[in-house]
Amino acid sequence: MVQVVGPPCGSSTSPVIEPGLLAADAQGIPCYLETSLAGNVSLYRRLGFQVNPSRNAH
């Protein structure tokens, strides 16, 4: 299943993403994100994601 999530304008992204990440962790389901914006990387790192250099398309 593919889901696309985003916060309402002016709100934080974490409350939108965190429940799904916690549920996936509880079930042992891996998660990944793709972004074309370098500015998103710091947010994703705060949520526990790591950059995979082999998938890094510069």
The CA distance from 44 to 48, in Å, is: 7
pLDDT number for residue 2: 47
Q: What is the pLDDT of residue 33?
A: 81
In the chain, the number of structural domains is: 1
6: nearest Cα among 31, 51, 43: 43
In a domain, 3, yes or no: no
Residue 22 in any domain: the answer is yes
Q: What is the pLDDT tens value at each position of the chain, 58 positions in all?
A: 445 555 555 556 677 778 888 898 899 998 888 888 888 888 888 878 888 876 655 5
Residue 27 belongs to a domain: yes
4 occurs within a structural domain: no
What is the token pair recorded at 48?
């526990």
Domain of 42, in residue numbers: 14-53
